[in-house]
Amino acid sequence: MLSALPRATFTALAGSPTLKRLASRYAMGRAGRLARRFVAGETVSDAIDVARGLERDGFAVTLDLLATSARSSEQATQATRTYVEMIGEIERAGIDRNISVKLTQLGLDVDRATCIDNLRRILDAATPGDFFVRIDMERSRYTEHTLDAFETLWSIGYRNVGVVMPSYLRRAESYIRRLNTLGARIRLVKGAYHEPREVALQQKADVDAVFIELMHLLLREGTYPAIATHDSALVSATRQFAAANAIGPDTFEFQMMYGVRRDLQTSLSRAGHRLRVYVPFGQEWFPYFMRRLGEQPEHLGPLVRSLASF
């Protein structure tokens, strides 16, 4: 059965140049209805439309541009310009002023100093409109560089910026304590990449246990942390810890991806918790879409039938 395919298969499909070309050729055409369960569309206008609907339903939002890593200074400059233009469009639309960025898009693989300078340009554009910018954490080889970029800009006065910390990293607790000392806003996640054993925990039970420990640390000592998980057990653990320690729902928020666990998103919002939805969009939607299918493979059958009809 298609739904029995292992998650690694979907990761491999996400990197398939052939499938990616097919998806690009037909944009979000016939497969669009299914893809749009997880991806807002290809343009910032698409994302803004989705964000408006989510806000009407009582959710906070953040826009997440799906793009490739920059391989040249010119590509990094263009990506930076795209983010600055996106900030302007969000401001004119009047939706939640919150975005996420990936440093590889800004030139981290090209030149770290240029990447930091590009991030600074984005923060400069975001500051007048009171935007918040979250730096996503990518593969473990980028962890120290990402924290260095964040701390460099923090040290010169930028406060409209936060970071992501995966609980599967073996050094996650020391990183969080270091960031808590600064007063940084941290988004806690499990972690999305296949990492070597010496860098990251390998077993789900271990990752979950550390996630709970780090959640406790962030709720006790952090600055408006974001608890990002679709795992109902971890959500329940967070709610129970907050209630037992008189930690109000206005001091932290839950975060989830667009189209994932909509039932849980709705129940949390109705229970009075702030729930922020990550709204991904962009022309590089196919790899992201396939990774989401790996989490919910029951949707693969309709996709295959749709593509077969081209």
Q: Which of 96, 97, 120, 136 is catalytic?
A: 136
Q: Residue ranges of the alpha helices (H) in the chain?
A: 7-14, 17-25, 32-35, 44-56, 73-93, 112-126, 143-155, 172-182, 204-221, 232-244, 262-270, 285-295, 300-308
> How many other C-beta atoms can be found within 10 angstroms of the C-beta atom of residue 284?
19
Quick one: which of 9, 39, 7 has its CA closest to 23? 39
CB 153 within 8 A of CB 103: no
Residue 70 DSSP class: P
SS3 4: helix
Q: Which of 120, 187, 261, 274 is catalytic?
A: 187
Determine whether 136 is an active site residue. yes
CB 303 within 8 A of CB 29: no
Determine whether 71 is an active site residue. no
**Per-residue tokens: 38:** 């997880």
Q: Which residues pair with 163 in a beta bridge?
A: 135, 186
**Per-residue tokens: 41:** 């569309």
Burial of 59 (0-12, 13-18, 19+ CB in 10 A): buried
Query: Catalytic residue numbers?
Result: 136, 187
